[in-house]
Amino acid sequence: MNFQQALLERRIAEASRGDADAAYDLGVAFSTGTSGATFDAIEAHKWFNLAAACGNEEAGAARADVAEDMTAREIATAQRAARDLLALIRRHAA
C-alpha cells in the first residue's frame, strides 16, 4: 500500500465515524481523482452528503456541483449510501 492509499483509508475511517471535514476531503478526492482516489461521482456525492449532514458548510454546494453531471439513478444510489452510513454512525454514537 502506498502513502496516498494509506491516507485515503485513514480519511475513510475518520469520515465513517462522523468527521465532517474528513468526509468533505473524501468528496473532493473522489470528485477530482486525487489523493489516492480514482474519480467516482457517486462516492464523491456520498461523502459530500455525509459532510453536509455532519455540519460542513461547504459540502452542500460541492454536492450540487457533482450532481450536475450525474443521472437521477446515480444520485439516488449516492443518497442511499450516505443515509446508510449516517444511520451506522448514529447507531455507534448511541
Q: Tell me: pLDDT of 93 over 90.
A: no
90 with 83: CB under 8 angstroms? no
Residue 37 DSSP code: P
What is the value of pTM for the model shown?
0.93
What CA–CA distance (Å, rounded) separates 63 from 69?
Answer: 11
42 with 81: CB under 8 angstroms? yes
Q: pLDDT tens for residues 7-59?
A: 899 999 999 999 999 999 999 999 999 999 999 999 999 999 999 999 999 99
85 with 12: CB under 8 angstroms? no
